[in-house]
Structure 1
């Protein structure tokens, strides 16, 4: 993914120009919002038809360049020594603006070196100059096939400088987009997405609301964000901004961004829906972690138990997230191709697992299988555990049927997950049966799992007074040499006696 820091790489790459140093990107003229494309010919911007303004005054009237110190910020003394009379004459002619820049450059083509043409670009990109002329010069260079790698890097750095200055000075996002359109008009296509660079600049400058406005305007105008016919960043500007939000843990904001733009009829890229679905999964996962901590604090009596209203709010927040995820999945299926269906069901599966919804998760396993995307075996076990905790008998039967043809190692893993699901749901009779089944098949349950079952059974004795299952389980573990023969002390309430039973 692109970041704004990569802009510095563009500027530093100008060191490849050898001894000629460009110490800073060009700064933006004050009148950029209406100058760009005003003088650019109709052949450049086909959606505009401006006439060249012969009466347009020079931005610095009376300027005469003869090795001027005006370029000190960009040039070395060696550069000035290399500038010939053709360079000075070209600057003066372009400053007068009595003819089309392309006509002037065509006439002086043989008298200007590649280096001098680069310096013309630098000159007119400076603040106070007619910056639209730099675009005209670049467009002419492109048409004459005189844009080499160094010239492209130079013009990209100039454009990046203009964009950055627009954002820093608080210009309307429309001005920034106009600049990107102008860049495309003159055929300036860098090897990265300028749209993503602009989003990064807004984000890193703390202008997040304007960054969102920028994305909205890009979608509203239908600005292209692919380079040379190749697919750009999957998700387009919407997906990239959502990814930036996710990178800082703002998962809910990322989801709301994509949903809101789609509901406004702005048609984000289909991949942005998948990015938003990933944000839903991450938010549900973080929410589940926070909820577990909250319940732990309540059990430790650090905080009060959750009341009915709290539980309702928790359920509503989770349900709203899932509803957003389902809505996004429908948009992907409607607007994307069949190749994305497997990814959609995969995201939905992750959502339902994080939310602890066994039936819905199990359905997504089979949906994935139907579209030819087999889920990982571990995911079947996780869903099995969720269904076991909720005693979803039908779903469990279908999932356990798959286990019958599995290897011994996989069977042990599946039964272990089944056991943990029963423990989590408090179904200790079923947990005891599962342990006994594992021992019968020659599988040894994990020590912590056995301890959890014993603790759960002891807790139930105190609550219900039923000891039969506890005794049965202890006898089973003793026979398997998993515990030492022991005395079990039972308090008989009816007779107020302690009874000792040897296992």
Structure 2
């Protein structure tokens, strides 16, 4: 009957840019409408006119369905559509009765039909649930239903629907057993983000946590992501590091419980923000030296120091939550993040403590990190930390010793501790190691400036002598002017 009249039942699907499916629908609409009654659902029912030719290129499987395919559809297919539209019986009863009459392809088309705007969206979910229970959901059908679901979510977001409506749809998806190979929650966050609705994305994440909705992506391995961490990562990608930190902390402090991994993501954001602050301060210092801007006054310097201290406090708070909620396997990662924070902020003593904390939990830091922390401690003349860090050097190769002592030397130079820098040069020479030319020159230059300011030249003369003996500099003459006696003294080294 209906088939004889060539019913075109798939008009105006309007599915746009969905997920990963590969189904394209194309057909010619030719007449006769089918009764449609709307039940409570997420797609607003709106009857449209038939009789137009359209190409819908968002629900993509491997084939085209054209007007020619209508002749290949069985009588049972059209009967199933009519019965489901009448809503006299449960969809599962209708499909059970016509199970043998419908092919896998026709069942997919039933899903497509009820997914279109103006049709009963719940019926599509009920049909899919029946298919799953009957073990008739193959990969292609799963991809089709995921595409439909993504499009429904997109329409809700674009239509300014309530956050709760979107969450309800995800709950319904889970109830019918729709399990995509990716996290639908992350997909929704991305849709909000791409639509420029960043505040709504935050509210959505909090609603998901409030309802305690599972967010696993189906991976058998432990799920490390989650809504809070994923949204924080999205913020980090755009360079909004402080926003990412605030998201995680505020979510925790308002009584919700973000996933543990989100704390580590927020700690990474703290590291990046501290690094950006350090780069900005270096630029500022360069502009000041060039005379382009005035030096910072005491109030601005205090504000910068407070901002850095607040960031470090946030990082420590996040690490405490990792220790409380996470397992021992995350302790080393938390200490590693803290180490990076203290390095970026130039806190030598705290950074050194994190190195040993990492070692205690079985996570050995990279050797270069020990050298970097050593240089920071040297610039601050932290004698105890320097001594402890240098004990590792005794059992290393000559090349490693030279690298470590070079970092120590540069740390002393940065802090203006030229006597200690000279002593480091002596130690390198005693070990048969040759300091780099720029390092030697920097020490000599620093000592020369000090002579001009204080008149103390013993360290300078001694260093020149040692370098000359090692054939690292040629013979040199030192001129000393005694103003009181109006006397010049010349000494050959």
- TM-score category (smaller protein): 0.7 to 0.9
231, 240, 246: which one aligns with 2:230: 240
Structure-2 residue corresponding to 1:316: 306
Structure-2 residue corresponding to 1:91: 81
Q: Distance in 1 between matches of 2:302 and 2:55?
A: 68
Q: Output one character per residue of 1:91-133: Cα deviation in whole Å (capped at 9) or x when no partner.
A: 1111111111111111111111111111111111111111111
- Are 1:407 and 2:402 an aligned pair? no
- Are 1:103 and 2:103 an aligned pair? no
Unaligned runs of 5+ in 2: 1-15, 28-36, 58-64
Q: TM-score, normalised by structure 2?
A: 0.88
Structure-1 residue corresponding to 2:12: none
Contact 1:193 1:232 in 2 (8 A): no
Structure-2 residue corresponding to 1:14: 23
* SS, match of residue 488 in structure 1: strand
- Are 1:349 and 2:339 an aligned pair? yes
- Are 1:288 and 2:294 an aligned pair? no
Identify if the C-alpha distance between structure 1 residues 147 and 305 changes in structure 2 by more than 3 Å, giving closer, same or farther. same
Identify if the C-alpha distance between structure 1 residues 136 and 36 changes in structure 2 by more than 3 Å, giving closer, same or farther. farther
Q: Report the Cα offset of residue 275 of structure 1.
A: 0.9
Which of structures 1 and 2 has the larger relative contact order (alpha carbons within 8 angstroms, sep 6+)? 1
Instruction: Map residues 20-169 of structure 1 onto 2, 5 A cutoff.
Output: 34-35=40-41, 73=56, 75-169=65-159
Q: Report the Cα offset of residue 415 of structure 1.
A: 0.9
Contact 1:33 1:175 in 2 (8 A): no
Identify if the C-alpha distance between structure 1 residues 481 and 423 changes in structure 2 by more than 3 Å, giving closer, same or farther. same
Identify if the C-alpha distance between structure 1 residues 72 and 314 changes in structure 2 by more than 3 Å, giving closer, same or farther. closer
Contact 1:36 1:182 in 2 (8 A): no
Identify if the C-alpha distance between structure 1 residues 399 and 295 changes in structure 2 by more than 3 Å, giving closer, same or farther. same
Contact 1:415 1:434 in 2 (8 A): yes
Structure-2 residue corresponding to 1:253: 243
- Are 1:269 and 2:259 an aligned pair? yes
Q: Count matched residues.
A: 462
- Are 1:373 and 2:363 an aligned pair? yes
Unaligned runs of 5+ in 1: 1-6, 23-30, 38-57
Q: TM-score, normalised by structure 1?
A: 0.86
* SS, match of residue 491 in structure 2: strand
Identify if the C-alpha distance between structure 1 residues 301 and 59 changes in structure 2 by more than 3 Å, giving closer, same or farther. closer
Contact 1:243 1:254 in 2 (8 A): yes
Contact 1:71 1:123 in 2 (8 A): no
Q: Report the Cα offset of residue 235 of structure 1.
A: 3.1
What's the C-alpha RMSD, in Å, of the aligned pairs?
A: 2.6
Q: Distance in 2 between matches of 1:420 and 1:262?
A: 42
Q: Distance in 2 between matches of 1:246 and 1:343?
A: 19
Q: Report the Cα offset of residue 316 of structure 1.
A: 0.6
Q: Report the Cα offset of residue 458 of structure 1.
A: 2.1
Contact 2:274 2:345 in 1 (8 A): yes
Q: Report the Cα offset of residue 21 of structure 1.
A: 5.9
Q: Output one character per residue of 1:409-453: Cα deviation in whole Å (capped at 9) or x when no partner.
A: 221111111111110110001101110111111101111111211
Q: Report the Cα offset of residue 389 of structure 1.
A: 1.0
Structure-1 residue corresponding to 2:450: 460
Question: Which region of structure 1 is more displaced relative to structure 2, 402-411 or 146-155?
Answer: 402-411
Contact 1:225 1:232 in 2 (8 A): no
Q: Report the Cα offset of residue 14 of structure 1.
A: 3.0
Structure-2 residue corresponding to 1:45: none
